[in-house]
Amino acid sequence: MKSITIQGTKRESVGKKSTKALRDAELVPCVVYGGEETLNFSAEERAFKGLVYTPEAHTVSIEVDGKTIPAVLQDIQFHPLTDKILHVDFYQLSEDKPVIMEVPVKLTGRSKGVVAGGALRQSFRKLKVKAIPANLPDEIVVDITPLKIGSKLYVGDVKAEGFTFMHPDNAVVVAVKMARTALKGGAAAEDEDEEGEATPAEGDAPAAEATSAE
């Protein structure tokens, strides 16, 4: 999985007055836990642009006082009116300790049902996976080519190597619904396509989120 680096400064005080002073200086109060001790630090708000305002999933290298701490984003708080980042929680990674993280879903191929006039409905833009850090995927690739009108692709149908999904197998990832354009001839076109086949086709976080799998 891709990683970004965030430069931080250790916080000596964590009171309300200190926190307000940091925010006034356009710095974000942060905490990283999960290791031997909890670390409170601050970082420039712009440092989070590549982590928060992106559909991609990342791990994080936090650099504070010459030390580098591998982590994942745990939670992020935004101001309700300005959307400014108020606070960020990180969870420290260990090589042999599984974590749970949301990973984006990437659809590939061209659904047969959509070609026939159906409408594609994607239920999950991201899926939660559990894995050790080395096996965390950048994205979950889902081939929608075999899906016809009325077909659904479930979590249990998605291939997972080195990680497990934290969703029921019967959770629908994507489906092709009947659309108005398919009512007149779309289904007929799909039937013709099926006759010509040699084999039958197989049939809601706030900016990135990860939690300990303990």
- Distance of alpha carbon 135 from alpha carbon 130, whole angstroms: 9
Opening angle at CA 3, ends 138 and 64, nearest 5: 155
- Interval 186-209 mean pLDDT: 40
CATH topology for 3-93 is Ribosomal Protein L25; Chain P (2.40.240)
pLDDT in tens, 202-211: 333 333 444 4
Q: Is the pLDDT of residue 182 over 60?
A: no
CATH superfamily of 100-196+205-212: Ribosomal protein L25, C-terminal domain (2.170.120.20)
Opening angle at CA 137, ends 131 and 139, nearest 5: 135
pLDDT of residue 28: 94
The CB density around residue 15, as the number of other CB atoms within 10 Å, is: 9
Percentages (nearest 5) of helix, strand, coil residues in the chain: 20, 40, 40
pLDDT in tens, 18-59: 888 888 898 999 999 988 889 999 999 999 988 888 888 999
Q: Would you say the C-alpha torsion 16, 17, 20, 25 has a positive or negative sign? A: negative
pLDDT of residue 184: 53
Give the start-to-end residue ranges of the domains of the chain. Answer: 3-93, 100-196+205-212
- Interval 154-164 mean pLDDT: 94
